Amino acid sequence: MSMNATTNPHVSTAEARELLVDLVSIPSPSGEEAEAVEALVEFFERHGREVSVDEVGNVRAPADDAVLLTSHVDTVPGEIPVEVEATDDDEVLWGRGSVDATGPLAAMAAAAVNTGVSFVGVVGEETSSRGARHLVTDRDQPGAVINGEPSGATGITLGYRGFLSGTYVATSESGHTSRPDSNAIQHAIRWWSAVEDAFETDHYEPIFEQVTTKPVGIDGGSSDDGLSVEATLEAQLRIPPSLDAESVRETAETHLEVGTVSWNEPIPPVMESPRTEVARAFRVAIRAEGGDPRLLRKTGTSDMNIYAGAWDCPMVTYGPGDSDLDHAPDERLSLSEYDQSVAVLERVASTLVEKAAETGESA
């Protein structure tokens, strides 16, 4: 790690907040992360850290690999005016990405500088996870991973469901609508109804333990030449840790009588133990910062699923923000919670570096 007289290796609370506001002020929907990536690179350079941008656009600041702090640079689309609102006892930052996941990203960047651990800001999490997928093939496994997503300053996320998506396509001959023969649109509807029925469970079972199904797009009608009826249905299925993508895919295809489904590369579910060194370090750090630790399981999917599928090391997901505000039109983040999360991350990273040094595993 290079240093010179013009750099300051320490990030103050004010500087950490400034980084957050700067990043939230830069629109960075998936595929348009370049300006935010540049801002992150400049931040690490100002603080004397080695930093580069890899071939897919990830910001990589390697250092002590006892722990890797990583979150995503991209956000979902949507403009929310950036504003810092003063309340009676706090300040609140409004803006797209303040929660998901620019808040966790900025907190991790500050903590990485202040503790000397590795950092990666990945791209494309909101679409294909291309940044995380590239990362696991292009670097060695770290000692531990802390993935950045909103959990609240006192929340520790240990589990996510997996994800399987696909495109159903069917074609049928055209004919008068008075005929009883089913057309492609009916075939698509019947297949999807059968899939939903196949995964229906007791409503008292926690959502995290269920396969949930969601059609996210459907298109159908006469072909351009008028000789056939075509239908396309975009489907998503969430997979609990008790199952795998292959078994879910097979169940869905069992009900496929007409048409074909093209499946995308699945993301496996993940459920980490609460007894790892990383989880323990978070519980201690959260209590030290005045909080009451909460263990969480999320019904969605994150890049932690990608890391867990490739690396055999302990990991959790953590970051400031209320996940109910993910992608919402009123996305906003408490700045005092953000400050608290930076302090927690610094405590955790320092603890993991010390433990790795004791066992001779520090990079």
Strand partners, 84: 93
Collect all residues with Cβ–Cβ distance below 8 Å to 271 and sequence separation of at least 6.
Answer: 158, 159, 241, 297
SS3 27: coil
Token pair 């570096």: residue: 353
Please list the alpha-helical segments (H only) found in 73-212. 102-115, 130-138, 184-198
Half-sphere CA count of 101, side-chain side, radius 13 A: 27
Token code pair at residue 52: 């580069």
Q: What pTM, to 2 d.p., does this model score? A: 0.90
d(C-alpha 207, C-alpha 190), whole Å: 24
Phi, psi torsion values for 295, nearest 5 degrees: -95, 130
CA end-to-end distance (rounded Å), the chain? 13
Collect all residues with Cβ–Cβ distance below 8 Å to 206 and sequence separation of at least 6.
Answer: none
Q: Which domains does the chain have, with CATH numbers?
A: 13-160+270-359 (3.40.630.10), 162-263 (3.30.70.360)
Which sequence positions are flagged as catalytic?
Answer: 74, 125
Q: What is the pLDDT along the chain (363 residues), one digit of tens a residue?
A: 333 334 567 999 999 999 999 999 999 999 999 999 999 999 999 999 999 999 999 999 999 999 999 999 999 999 999 999 999 999 999 999 999 999 999 999 999 999 999 999 999 999 999 999 999 999 999 999 999 999 999 999 999 999 999 999 999 988 656 667 889 999 999 999 999 999 998 778 999 999 999 999 999 999 888 889 999 999 999 999 999 999 999 999 999 999 999 999 999 999 999 999 999 999 999 999 999 999 999 999 999 999 999 999 999 999 999 999 999 999 999 999 999 999 999 999 999 999 999 987 654
The model's pLDDT over 91-133, given as tens digits with 9 standing for 90+, comes to 999 999 999 999 999 999 999 999 999 999 999 999 999 999 9
Using N-to-C axis directions, what is the helix angle for 102-115 and 13-24, rounded to 10°?
140
Pairing state between β 91-94 and 332-334: antiparallel
